[in-house]
Structure 1
Amino acid sequence: MSDVNTTAGFTPYLEDVSRRTDLVEWGVQSDPLEGVSRSSGRLLFKGPDNRPETGLWVCTPGRWRLSIPRDELCHFLAGRATYRNDDGEVIEVYPNTLVLFPAGWTGECDVRETLRNVYMLV
């Protein structure tokens, strides 16, 4: 498996993201509502001022509040969860779901099976 290569002139990449195990512990999800959901992952790239930020995110079961600061594209590779917007919208995610959360999206996430997600925050 390749480490992220961010040297100028090279394209950053991660191999085998659906089974990759060399994850970095990112900590407990903030603002918990139920359970202790832990995040880990691998950063692929961060640009100036963290724009864009992209990588692999893995999250264990639990439920928490969230507010998405910038547009975030998520391709869920594994797991099951429900995202509930404060306006009443419900998004069920499962393997092979693609979601674009708009900047300012607020609500909660209820992870029932560990999520594995490739994301880009812009």
Structure 2
Amino acid sequence: MSSHASDKPRIVRLDQPAQPGVVDHPRPDRLEQGNPRRETWSLYESSDGQMTAGIWACEVGRWRIVFPAGKDEYFFVLEGHVRLHDREGGLVDVQAGQGGVIPGGFEGAFEVISPVRKHFVVVERPQKS
């Protein structure tokens, strides 16, 4: 059996693509402030579909988020400022040059204080019944 270069794992750089990303808005039932335009460039997906990485940009606004138990997100803010609010009233600011993790099971609100662009890595593990 011969091995081809395309069969081997390769490094993927997360460069800003020249083409537009996928545009959406928060679900209306989750909006708390504004109706921000969000744009996502998914630049990598693992062969098992459990990990996705890319670039995300968003306008100012705030909406509720609910992460399932098996979904974690690491992100690094390239530009702008985000604030994550937990259900108990605590908050964490993450600004350009800083990263953060949203753990599985997190419930709260995601707020964009100033227009943001970030790298993201989302890992979704199957949950056992």
Per-residue CA deviations over 1:32-89 (Å, capped at 9, x if unaligned) read 1110111112111112453101110111111100112311101011111211011333
Distance in structure 2 (CA, Å) of the matches to 1:38 and 1:48: 29
Cα separation, 2, equivalents of 1:24 and 1:85? 29
Relative to structure 1, is the Cα distance of residues 118 and 8 closer, same or farther in structure 2, using a 3 angstrom cutoff? farther
Bigger mean CA deviation after superposition, 85-94 or 95-104: 85-94
Q: Which residue of 2 aligns with 1:110?
A: 111
Output the CA distance in 2 between the equivalents of 1:29 and 1:21: 24
TM-score normalised to structure 2 length: 0.77
TM-score (norm 1): 0.81
**Deviation by residue 1:2-56 (Cα, 9 ceiling, x = unmatched):** xxxxx643332232x4xx6633133002211110111112111112453101110
After the TM superposition, which parts of structure 1 deviate over 4 Å for at least 4 consecutive aligned residues? Answer: none
- Cα deviation for residue 100 of structure 1 reads 1.2
* Gaps in structure 1 of 5+ consecutive residues: 1-6
1:10-25 aligned within 5 A:
10-15=10-15, 17=16, 22-25=19-22
Residues 1:82 and 2:79 aligned together: no
State which structure, 1 or 2, has the greater radius of gyration over its C-alpha atoms. Answer: 2
CA change 1:89–1:21 in 2 (3 A) is farther
Provide the C-alpha distance between the structure 2 equivalents of 1:93 and 1:48, rounded to a whole number of angstroms: 30
Structure 2 gaps of 5+ residues are 1-5, 124-129
Name the counterpart of 1:35: 34
